[in-house]
Structure 1
Amino acid sequence: MPTPPPTGPLVTRDTVSAQLLPLGVRPGETLLAHSSLSSLGWVCGGAVAVVQGLLDALGPDGTLVVPTQSGGLSDPALWSSPPVPEEWWPTIRAQMPSYDPLITPTRGVGVIPETVRTWPGARRSAHPQTSFAAIGPRAAEITEGHATDCRLGERSPLARLETLDARVLLLGAGYDACTAFHLAEYRIPSPLVQVGRPAAGGWEEVTEVSITSERFDELGSDFERDRPVVRGRVGAADTRLFPVADAVAYAERWLALHRPREPYADAAPRAREPRTRP
């Protein structure tokens, strides 16, 4: 069958920066970006052009931050898309490579974060499953000190971003991808769970706060109704811009009212694709 023609709009590096600035992105600020490359249209230069456009909009004094999660470094007993045979679990746990911030690829967060991860000068945080990468003057300040037993809580880059008055940019991504909401889960009564993962000395189990993206779309809809959220478009992508601190404060109140009190099933923050085996 013939290859279908590309669908637009045509998006370039200049398109990204030119459309972000009227949206309100400020040179010199710190921006936590959640993104979907395919939502933008036909991007000349792909993810590289998008990252260049983001950096152009932020300027030399701005800092770009993205989630660089590696959810494949998890217990095979929890894999569902697809599952693996139970008899494989011990071998997978014994042989799975441990996290290395320099070489462990991202999984399920899209090609733009993977591009940022490998960008010259990028810094990446230490958590083996829910790391963040950053480019810019504040990259080290944001990524250093990410505790390996604190996925998205007070000792993670999210808390640093809140303190630094960073803003969230949803670039073609929905509220289900908004990691800032997870920081609120650490500030309300939430169950604890055992989280398994590979480590340098073999398989390890750590106690963590249970996190889930369930109902984040509903939370985001209410947040957007009640709080100032700048909306616009970059290429064909619906785009939203709002402060990290505002999102966390609203989510803390909303989750306390709408989340059931009984323990919920643990999950990594939902990525842009189903969890798959490594």
Structure 2
Amino acid sequence: MLSYRRLVAAFRDLGLQERPVIAHASLKAFGPIRGGAEALLGALLNTVGALVMPTFTYKTMVTPPLGPPNNGMTYDPHPLVNRKAEFFFPDMPADPLMGVLAETLRRHPLAKRTHHPILSFAGIGAETALEAQTLFDPLAPIRVLAEQGGWVLLLGVDHTVNTSIHYGEKLAGRRQFVRWALTPGGIVECPGFPGCSQGFQVLAEDLEESTRRIQVESATVQAVPLGAVLKATIRRIQKDPLALLCSQEDCERCNAIRAMPSEQRE
């Protein structure tokens, strides 16, 4: 069983003690940990300069009867679909897709969380990055972390969950989408919603030379400079406007990008 000390020793080998980090994690990938997610979080906080994780809340999303064209979604849903939506509150749990560690961070007494009703982030020691987010610039925390020399940390997961690649897509000029969220003040329009991430793993080969990698029991842990992630993403899309899209025939967001005239894809 993994101990807190073993985790700290392993993470220190990554050399991120003075670096802000945006992390994505699978707790299951590590196997049994004495102290569970709290121990893993504590080890991270002991070995990085600042920590940010996505705490997105997809269950706040509603679908209107009409909206912008080529928006990567189907309008006019069945009435029951929107009835399942929940009001966003700052203490709403992160979506299970974010992982147990993200929710553990959100609940930490020192954590701050942004107030975006779909794409919130939580963090400790990263106030400047978190405060940069607005409804119209949901990925701004990633921009600030990059300016601060931040790193992406993938704990037992691959680049298909690497949210920072979405910011690279935006910088490359790739289409962003619009979504809508249910809040106590009404339905809020949320621009800047990113595309699909299922095709992102191909970027791993571009980032191999920049990647620091360790093995912690059954989990592969990868650390990549955030700046390298953004540059590699931009290069891919500039070379091929359809790069990083997934291969699923029914993916509405990827198909929306493919359907655009070539001169508008980037």
Confirm or deny a common fold (TM above 0.5). yes
- Given the alignment of the two structures, is residue 29 of structure 1 paired with residue 19 of structure 2, yes or no? yes
Distance in 1 of aligned mates of 2:239 and 2:16: 34
Name the CA shift for 1:41/1:207 in 2 (closer, same or farther; >3 Å). Answer: closer
Distance in 2 of aligned mates of 1:191 and 1:31: 26
Deviation, structure 1 residue 259: 3.9
Assess if the C-alpha contact under 8 Å between 2:164 and 2:226 holds in 1: yes
Q: Match of 1:212?
A: 196
Assess if the C-alpha contact under 8 Å between 1:170 and 1:241 holds in 2: yes
Assess if the C-alpha contact under 8 Å between 2:26 and 2:101 holds in 1: yes
Q: Match of 1:86?
A: 78
Residue identity over aligned pairs, in percent, reads 26
Deviation, structure 1 residue 89: 3.6
Assess if the C-alpha contact under 8 Å between 1:125 and 1:146 holds in 2: yes
- Given the alignment of the two structures, is residue 71 of structure 1 paired with residue 64 of structure 2, yes or no? no
Assess if the C-alpha contact under 8 Å between 2:21 and 2:50 holds in 1: yes
Q: Match of 1:18?
A: 9
Please list the CA deviations of residues 33-83 of structure 1 after superposition, one character each: whole Å capped at 9, or x if unmatched. 11110001111111001011111223xxx2111111112221368xxxxxx
Match of 2:35 among 11, 28, 45: 45
Name the CA shift for 1:76/1:57 in 2 (closer, same or farther; >3 Å). Answer: same
Distance in 2 of aligned mates of 1:123 and 1:90: 29
Q: What's the TM-score, normalizing by structure 1?
A: 0.77
Assess if the C-alpha contact under 8 Å between 1:130 and 1:151 holds in 2: yes
Distance in 1 of aligned mates of 2:151 and 2:177: 30
Match of 2:146 among 137, 155, 162: 162
Partner SS state of residue 121, structure 1: coil
Amino acid at match of 2:225: P
Q: What's the TM-score, normalizing by structure 2?
A: 0.81
Distance in 1 of aligned mates of 2:194 and 2:18: 35
Name the CA shift for 1:112/1:234 in 2 (closer, same or farther; >3 Å). Answer: same
Q: Which structure 2 residues correspond to residues 140-151 of structure 1 after superposition, within 5 A?
A: 140-151=127-138
Amino acid at match of 2:110: G
Please list the CA deviations of residues 212-247 of structure 1 after superposition, one character each: whole Å capped at 9, or x if unmatched. 2131011223332xx321111123201111111111
Q: Match of 2:219?
A: 237
Distance in 2 of aligned mates of 1:194 and 1:182: 14
Deviation, structure 1 residue 12: 1.4
Distance in 2 of aligned mates of 1:266 and 1:150: 19
Q: Match of 1:183?
A: 167
Number of corresponding residues: 235
Distance in 1 of aligned mates of 2:115 and 2:179: 16
Q: Match of 1:118?
A: 107
More helix by share: 2
Name the CA shift for 1:192/1:177 in 2 (closer, same or farther; >3 Å). Answer: closer
Q: Match of 1:100?
A: 89
Q: Match of 2:123?
A: 134
Distance in 1 of aligned mates of 2:153 and 2:82: 40
Deviation, structure 1 residue 159: 0.3
Q: Which structure 2 residue ranges, 5 or more long, are not aligned?
A: 65-76, 246-250, 255-266
Q: Which structure 1 residue ranges, 5 or more long, are not aligned?
A: 1-9, 78-84, 268-278
Match of 1:195 among 179, 203, 211: 179
Assess if the C-alpha contact under 8 Å between 1:125 and 1:145 holds in 2: no
Deviation, structure 1 residue 188: 2.1
How big is the alpha-carbon RMSD for the aligned residues of Structure 1 and Structure 2? 2.3
Distance in 2 of aligned mates of 1:68 and 1:46: 19
Distance in 1 of aligned mates of 2:19 and 2:35: 25
